[in-house]
Amino acid sequence: MSNDDKSVTIRLASQGDAEQLAHLCEQLGYPVSAEHLSPRLANLLPQSDHALFVAERPDGHLLGWVHVYRCFLVHTDPEAQIGGLVVDAAARRSGAGHRLMQAAEQWAREQGCWAIYLRSHVSRADAHQFYHKIGYDIVTSSVFCKPL
Protein backbone atom coordinates (compact mmCIF):
# COMPACT_ATOMS: atom_id res chain seq x y z
CA MET A 1 0.00 0.00 0.00
CA SER A 2 1.33 3.44 -0.87
CA ASN A 3 1.31 6.43 1.44
CA ASP A 4 -1.44 8.07 -0.59
CA ASP A 5 -3.70 5.00 -0.87
CA LYS A 6 -7.22 6.36 -0.52
CA SER A 7 -8.78 2.90 -0.86
CA VAL A 8 -8.47 2.60 2.93
CA THR A 9 -11.59 3.86 4.67
CA ILE A 10 -11.56 5.46 8.10
CA ARG A 11 -14.83 4.72 9.90
CA LEU A 12 -16.24 4.29 13.37
CA ALA A 13 -15.83 0.79 14.76
CA SER A 14 -18.78 -1.54 15.16
CA GLN A 15 -19.53 -4.51 17.38
CA GLY A 16 -18.76 -6.82 14.46
CA ASP A 17 -15.12 -5.67 14.49
CA ALA A 18 -14.36 -7.39 17.82
CA GLU A 19 -12.27 -10.23 16.43
CA GLN A 20 -10.03 -8.02 14.29
CA LEU A 21 -9.74 -5.40 17.05
CA ALA A 22 -8.61 -8.14 19.46
CA HIS A 23 -5.91 -9.21 16.99
CA LEU A 24 -4.69 -5.61 16.77
CA CYS A 25 -4.73 -5.27 20.58
CA GLU A 26 -2.37 -8.23 20.73
CA GLN A 27 0.03 -6.45 18.36
CA LEU A 28 -0.12 -3.42 20.65
CA GLY A 29 0.97 -5.65 23.53
CA TYR A 30 -2.41 -6.08 25.22
CA PRO A 31 -3.64 -9.60 24.38
CA VAL A 32 -7.39 -10.01 24.69
CA SER A 33 -9.87 -12.49 23.25
CA ALA A 34 -12.71 -11.28 21.03
CA GLU A 35 -15.12 -12.71 23.63
CA HIS A 36 -13.56 -10.54 26.32
CA LEU A 37 -13.32 -7.48 24.06
CA SER A 38 -16.92 -7.67 22.86
CA PRO A 39 -18.55 -6.44 26.12
CA ARG A 40 -16.02 -3.59 26.27
CA LEU A 41 -17.13 -2.52 22.80
CA ALA A 42 -20.78 -2.80 23.77
CA ASN A 43 -20.09 -0.40 26.65
CA LEU A 44 -17.82 2.00 24.77
CA LEU A 45 -19.40 2.38 21.32
CA PRO A 46 -22.63 4.11 22.43
CA GLN A 47 -20.79 6.71 24.56
CA SER A 48 -20.84 10.13 22.91
CA ASP A 49 -17.61 11.22 24.64
CA HIS A 50 -15.64 8.33 23.11
CA ALA A 51 -14.87 7.41 19.49
CA LEU A 52 -13.15 4.32 18.16
CA PHE A 53 -12.01 4.73 14.56
CA VAL A 54 -10.74 1.91 12.36
CA ALA A 55 -8.79 1.91 9.10
CA GLU A 56 -10.37 -0.64 6.76
CA ARG A 57 -9.26 -2.01 3.40
CA PRO A 58 -11.90 -2.61 0.71
CA ASP A 59 -11.79 -6.35 1.52
CA GLY A 60 -12.87 -5.64 5.12
CA HIS A 61 -9.46 -6.22 6.70
CA LEU A 62 -8.75 -3.75 9.52
CA LEU A 63 -5.32 -2.16 9.35
CA GLY A 64 -5.54 -0.34 12.68
CA TRP A 65 -7.58 1.54 15.23
CA VAL A 66 -7.45 4.65 17.38
CA HIS A 67 -9.51 5.29 20.52
CA VAL A 68 -10.07 8.93 21.43
CA TYR A 69 -12.13 10.30 24.29
CA ARG A 70 -13.07 13.68 25.73
CA CYS A 71 -11.97 14.62 29.25
CA PHE A 72 -13.71 17.17 31.42
CA LEU A 73 -11.39 18.51 34.10
CA VAL A 74 -11.97 21.18 36.71
CA HIS A 75 -8.74 23.05 35.96
CA THR A 76 -8.95 23.30 32.14
CA ASP A 77 -11.28 23.42 29.19
CA PRO A 78 -12.24 20.06 27.64
CA GLU A 79 -9.36 18.13 26.15
CA ALA A 80 -9.07 14.85 24.31
CA GLN A 81 -6.96 11.83 25.13
CA ILE A 82 -5.82 9.07 22.83
CA GLY A 83 -6.60 5.85 24.66
CA GLY A 84 -4.70 3.76 22.15
CA LEU A 85 -3.43 3.61 18.59
CA VAL A 86 -2.23 0.56 16.71
CA VAL A 87 -1.53 -0.18 13.07
CA ASP A 88 -1.00 -3.74 11.88
CA ALA A 89 2.74 -4.45 11.60
CA ALA A 90 2.35 -5.21 7.88
CA ALA A 91 0.72 -1.82 7.26
CA ARG A 92 3.00 0.48 9.23
CA ARG A 93 4.38 3.47 7.33
CA SER A 94 1.47 3.19 4.89
CA GLY A 95 -0.32 6.36 6.03
CA ALA A 96 -3.05 4.48 7.92
CA GLY A 97 -1.84 5.68 11.33
CA HIS A 98 -1.68 9.29 10.18
CA ARG A 99 -5.20 9.08 8.78
CA LEU A 100 -6.48 7.52 12.01
CA MET A 101 -4.89 10.33 14.03
CA GLN A 102 -6.40 12.93 11.69
CA ALA A 103 -9.84 11.41 12.31
CA ALA A 104 -9.26 11.49 16.08
CA GLU A 105 -8.08 15.10 15.94
CA GLN A 106 -11.08 16.16 13.83
CA TRP A 107 -13.45 14.41 16.24
CA ALA A 108 -11.76 16.20 19.18
CA ARG A 109 -12.17 19.58 17.46
CA GLU A 110 -15.85 18.84 16.86
CA GLN A 111 -16.21 18.00 20.57
CA GLY A 112 -14.83 21.43 21.52
CA CYS A 113 -11.50 20.15 22.82
CA TRP A 114 -8.64 22.61 22.99
CA ALA A 115 -5.84 19.98 22.81
CA ILE A 116 -5.25 16.28 22.39
CA TYR A 117 -2.91 14.26 24.61
CA LEU A 118 -1.50 10.76 24.37
CA ARG A 119 0.82 8.51 26.33
CA SER A 120 3.47 6.35 24.75
CA HIS A 121 5.80 4.01 26.61
CA VAL A 122 9.43 5.12 26.67
CA SER A 123 10.42 1.95 24.80
CA ARG A 124 8.34 2.80 21.71
CA ALA A 125 10.93 4.87 19.83
CA ASP A 126 9.29 4.32 16.41
CA ALA A 127 5.97 5.55 17.77
CA HIS A 128 7.67 8.62 19.25
CA GLN A 129 9.17 9.44 15.84
CA PHE A 130 5.73 9.09 14.26
CA TYR A 131 4.10 11.40 16.82
CA HIS A 132 6.80 14.05 16.35
CA LYS A 133 6.38 13.82 12.58
CA ILE A 134 2.64 14.55 12.81
CA GLY A 135 3.07 17.53 15.13
CA TYR A 136 3.04 16.22 18.70
CA ASP A 137 5.47 17.53 21.32
CA ILE A 138 6.68 15.74 24.44
CA VAL A 139 5.13 16.94 27.69
CA THR A 140 7.17 15.60 30.57
CA SER A 141 5.23 13.82 33.28
CA SER A 142 5.13 10.60 35.23
CA VAL A 143 2.32 8.11 34.98
CA PHE A 144 1.32 6.39 38.22
CA CYS A 145 -0.96 3.38 38.52
CA LYS A 146 -2.49 1.53 41.46
CA PRO A 147 -4.35 -1.69 40.72
CA LEU A 148 -7.77 -1.80 42.36
Q: Burial letters for 62-74: b for 16+ Cβ neighbours within 10 Å, e otherwise?
A: bbbbbbbbbeeee
Query: Does 18 fall in a domain?
Result: yes
pLDDT digits (tens, 9 = 90+) for 8-36: 999 999 999 999 999 999 998 899 999 99
- Structural domain for 39, as ranges: 9-133
Gap between the Cα atoms of 56 and 59, Å rounded: 8
Give the CATH number for residue 126: 3.40.630.30
Gap between the Cα atoms of 34 and 66, Å rounded: 17
pLDDT digits (tens, 9 = 90+) for 37-76: 999 999 999 999 999 999 999 999 999 999 999 999 999 9
Burial label for 52, CB within 10 Å (0-12, 13-18, 19+), is buried
Query: Does 4 fall in a domain?
Result: no
- Which H helix or E strand runs over 102? helix 96-110
| Total-model pTM | 0.90
